[in-house]
Structure 1
């Protein structure tokens, strides 16, 4: 057991204390945001915005360009999602949970392909094809870009994309040395499963409250 703990804390041996504290705070807020998402609660966005802002700073410190781009995108999608979720469809009801339309599926494919191309160009410009993780980063970035767009629009299928991206991210972040973040993705996988089940039960049901 001591070998496990030694390995765990060794990953943070040369990391400044404030970075470690920020990662823990970002992880806690990220988990809260994911939980609020499962609950269909508008608090997903204030917690998520602060969490992603923290991770943009941390990832810039580590030089993890792909991950930084993902979190910057999360930040902008959180602003967009906050607007969509609080928009009323009539005098009393807010935007309900629905499934993707044919048009939205086409847009999802476009987002996925465009993201792959965008990240490829960025990595080429900054010469980031130095590890196998760069290729995995490109894939997870595209997956999460689609997931966050669908989440912002309150589409059930966002959980399926999140589940796939979260599973891939667990070993990826372990490898990168962001151990707390890797543990976060383990919990994200669990929340993704329960989130999908919870949202499926509430499909197309008019919502009068955003604080469930």
Structure 2
């Protein structure tokens, strides 16, 4: 029974000729709830998101998006860490379950962009050949390995920056969501494509909400010494 639930062949319902599996449906619901909570700076985004990434991990494996599958492992790990970090930074009862927001200097933003592109291309080369190295685990070639991998490294960076409560995380989510809508529509998972279109709208809202609740950029180490136990 449980194994059937995690199969893309276990169909929940049909929409205009497209069969939506229980796996895709449930993963969509949990991930949608998680990003809405993130935009509102609510700590519950992390436990809800952990459930969602587990479900999407099974989905992406079955539709040959291996980089996206690996991405879910990262989301799971950072979800646990983010939950802990946000719990330590939750505001007082006047703004229950919400955290304050910080920003980064331009030099740090440029560093992140370079790291995303270089690591994305490197990962793409690995993903493009993984079916040759591990044919039993990955029987068919990955689709769009470079593009898929760059979106993966973009998501890695965005998730990390969100975990650190950085406003710039939303710029990356916006770029990622635009690409994801087209990619998943092409892969014939329109329910997920629609989900990412909703994510895109929510990302603009998240950027607006976080911008209105941001603090000034955090001081560098040479300007202000911060005890190790309270550093971000």
| Matched residue, 2:52 | 51
Shift of the alpha carbon at 1:196? 0.3
Shift of the alpha carbon at 1:156? 0.3
Task: Give 3-state SS (helix, strand or coil) of 1:114's partner.
Answer: helix
| Matched residue, 1:100 | 104
CA separation of 1:22 and 1:89: change in aligned 2, threshold 3 A = closer
Ranked by relative contact order (alpha carbons within 8 Å, sequence separation 6 or more), the top structure is: 1
Match of 2:200 among 185, 189, 198: 189
* TM-score, L = length of structure 1: 0.79
Any stretches of 5+ residues in structure 1 without a counterpart?
Answer: 1-6, 206-212
Q: Which one has the largest radius of gyration?
A: 2
Shift of the alpha carbon at 1:119? 3.7
CA distance in 2, matches of 1:89, 1:56: 29
Q: Which moved more, 1:56-65 or 1:34-43?
A: 56-65
| Matched residue, 2:224 | none
CA distance in 2, matches of 1:47, 1:89: 17
Give per-residue Cα distances to partners, 1:145-194, cap 9 Å, x unaligned: 11111111110011110001001111110111111111100101100111
Q: Matched residue pairs, number?
A: 193
1:166 aligns with 2:167: no
| Correspondences of 1:53-202 after superposition (within 5 Å) | 53-88=54-89, 96-101=100-105, 104-105=108-109, 108-109=112-113, 111-112=115-116, 113-127=118-132, 133-202=144-213
Contact 1:116 1:142 in 2 (8 A): no
Contact 2:171 2:207 in 1 (8 A): yes
Shift of the alpha carbon at 1:125? 3.1
Give per-residue Cα distances to partners, 1:8-35, cap 9 Å, x unaligned: 65443xxxx7xx0111111011111010
Cα RMSD, aligned residues only: 3.0
CA separation of 1:83 and 1:115: change in aligned 2, threshold 3 A = farther
Task: Give 3-state SS (helix, strand or coil) of 2:144's partner.
Answer: helix
Contact 2:174 2:203 in 1 (8 A): yes
CA distance in 1, matches of 2:184, 2:201: 17
Contact 2:128 2:141 in 1 (8 A): no
Q: Which moved more, 1:46-55 or 1:63-72?
A: 63-72
* TM-score, L = length of structure 2: 0.72
